[in-house]
Amino acid sequence: MSEKNKDSQWPLWEVFVQSEQGGPHIHAGSVHAPDPEMALQNARDVYSRRNEAISLWVVPSVSITATMPSDQGPFFDPASDKIYRHPQFYHVPKGLK
């Protein structure tokens, strides 16, 4: 790990930024860092130089499992056969709000 890895670019971390209280953490990009602590510091320097963040998450990129574009059809079955999940499906007496 020592000599050979001297010029390693280090593992990749995905950065999630919460920009306002009560809001969600949104993916901002990625950073390279040797450990979680430096990943957070790098993420702050790269993605929050102008108070864009009040909270940061860093996650090793290899730990993320994601869907594939080919999943779009069957995996996210749009539930067009489950129209009863939508409020429009139901009849209520006219004039009632």
Residues that bind another protein (CB under 8 A): 1-2, 5-10, 12, 29-32, 34-35, 37-38, 45-46, 49-50, 66, 68-69
CB of 72 to another protein, least distance (A): 10
The span from the CA of 1 to the CA of 19, in Å, is: 37
Of 20 and 37, CB closest to another protein: 37
Closest Cα to residue 39, out of 28, 26, 23? 28
The span from the CA of 58 to the CA of 1, in Å, is: 23
CB of 29 to another protein, least distance (A): 5
